[in-house]
């Protein structure tokens, strides 16, 4: 009888969140601590998402968030009620790209339900930023453990708001005007890509014709070079360029791979012997990139976005590098106008992640304007 009474009282005293299927704050902290030990042992990342409703949130809105988490988050992930207006989600065995994808999806679901909240994603990746001297390291403010290091995915120094000749800080009136909702921004950006890519093809047609004649007259082989590149979310596509190398350039790569002047999977060599005489001019002037306007019109690429890497090089990147695939690749980006400042492959990746984290339409226009100076100064072949 005493045992029965004890079970009834214990059940009555359990927090409401447990009855609703959410962990309490203490239970959530324990779940994070367990995942920390698993991640350290297995060297696999995980993410912690914090959702904070506005202080004016009602009980009904809190229940809506609870139902949303229970229905829209994987059963293998832990969901908890941390404070009155704060919820947490532990994405187990999830790298940063997966955490950001889940965060974007939940943010969209919250917005469709009229729920106003701030979302904050923290990532623990033992093979990513945690080993980088430039990264910000913080003790876990959710799990309470001193050994758990989480990188703030929104403000980490590995993808910082560095200038890279694209000033940020306080938004100008124009940038504020162009800082629109993610869904609308995606539609506007795609519309600009189609219009800009189509107009660019029309304007570039005479130059493309002259370039084609020059390539055909000075070296044997096709005019265009095609290659499989990895695009948004890892989807492969065929990229088009004016051929600037000898026909069997890819076959010769293995023989000079060890002469790459940059560490990392991407091969870079200033005086690449495979490049033809006309090809050097085309690269310096960026004319070899003009056929990619067709990739933009097709939707494989955008006018502005991280440069797409060959499939083999992209898949050889570190897990944290591959977050650049969260967005559609582009013809130009921060790295394209600041190549000489990228002293390492990791720095190149940080430039790309800086764009991914802080992209606005105004920044796209700024980068497009700066890209015009690249061929004028002959920096296209850097």
113 and 225 fall within a common domain: no
Structural domain that includes position 65: 2-152
Tell me the mean pLDDT per 10 residues along the chain, length 382: 48 44 90 84 83 85 91 86 92 83 88 89 68 38 37 42 36 46 81 95 93 90 92 92 87 80 74 87 89 96 94 84 88 87 83 83 90 68 52
pLDDT of residue 296: 96
144 and 92 fall within a common domain: yes
Query: pTM of whole model > 0.75?
Result: no
Q: Record the tokens describing residue 254, joined without a space.
A: 């293995």
Q: Which of 119, 152, 185 is the last residue of a domain?
A: 152
143 and 67 fall within a common domain: yes
84 and 11 fall within a common domain: yes
Domain tally, the chain? 2
236 and 311 fall within a common domain: yes
21 and 89 fall within a common domain: yes
221 and 363 fall within a common domain: yes
pLDDT of residue 19: 42
126 and 48 fall within a common domain: yes
Signed CA dihedral, 57, 58, 60, 63: sign only: positive
233 assigned to some structural domain? yes
322 and 358 fall within a common domain: yes
pLDDT of residue 191: 94
Q: Record the tokens describing residue 283, joined without a space.
A: 């690269």
Q: What is the 3-state secondary structure (H, E, C) of 61-129?
A: HHHHHHHHHHHHCCCCCEEEECCCCEEEEEECCCCHHHHHHHHHHHHHHHHHCCCCEEEEEEEECCCCH
Domain at 132, CATH number: 3.30.70.270
55 and 98 fall within a common domain: yes
pLDDT of residue 151: 47
pLDDT of residue 382: 52
239 and 377 fall within a common domain: yes
Among 118, 119, 128, smallest CA distance to 97 is for 128
pLDDT of residue 196: 94
């Amino acid at each position: 009888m005493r045992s029965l009474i004890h079970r009834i009282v214990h059940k009555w005293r359990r927090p409401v969140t447990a009855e609703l299927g959410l962990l309490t704050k203490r239970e959530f902290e324990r779940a994070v601590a367990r995942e920390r030990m698993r991640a350290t042992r297995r060297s696999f990342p995980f993410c912690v998402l914090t959702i904070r409703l506005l202080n004016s949130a009602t009980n009904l809105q809190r229940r809506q968030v609870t139902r949303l988490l229970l229905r829209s988050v994987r059963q293998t992930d832990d969901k908890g009620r941390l404070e009155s207006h704060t919820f947490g989600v532990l994405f187990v065995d999830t790298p940063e790209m997966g955490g950001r994808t889940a965060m974007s999806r939940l943010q969209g679901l919250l917005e469709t339900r009229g729920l106003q909240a701030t979302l904050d994603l923290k990532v623990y990746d033992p093979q990513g930023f945690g080993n980088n001297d430039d990264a910000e390291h913080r003790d876990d403010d959710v799990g309470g453990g001193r050994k758990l290091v989480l990188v703030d995915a929104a403000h980490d120094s590995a993808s910082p708001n560095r200038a890279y000749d694209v000033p940020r800080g306080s938004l100008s009136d124009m940038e504020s005007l162009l800082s629109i909702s993610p869904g609308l921004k995606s539609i506007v950006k795609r519309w600009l890509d189609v219009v800009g890519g189509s107009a660019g093809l029309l304007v570039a047609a005479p130059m493309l014709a002259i370039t084609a004649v020059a390539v055909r007259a000075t070296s044997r082989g096709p005019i265009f070079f095609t290659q499989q590149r990895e695009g948004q979310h890892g989807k492969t596509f065929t990229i088009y360029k004016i051929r600037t190398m000898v026909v069997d350039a890819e076959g010769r790569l293995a023989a000079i791979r060890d002469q790459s002047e940059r560490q990392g999977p991407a091969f870079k060599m200033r005086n690449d012997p495979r490049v033809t005489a006309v090809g050097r001019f085309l690269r310096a002037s960026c004319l070899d990139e003009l056929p990619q306007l067709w990739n933009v019109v097709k939707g494989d690429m955008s006018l502005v976005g991280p440069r797409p890497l060959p499939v083999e090089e992209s898949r050889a990147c570190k897990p944290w590098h591959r977050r650049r695939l969260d967005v559609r690749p582009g013809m130009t980006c921060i790295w394209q106008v600041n190549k000489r400042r990228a002293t390492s492959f990791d720095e190149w990746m940080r430039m790309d992640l800086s764009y991914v984290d802080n992209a606005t339409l105004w920044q796209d226009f700024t980068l497009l304007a700066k890209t015009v100076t690249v061929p004028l100064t002959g920096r296209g072949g850097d």
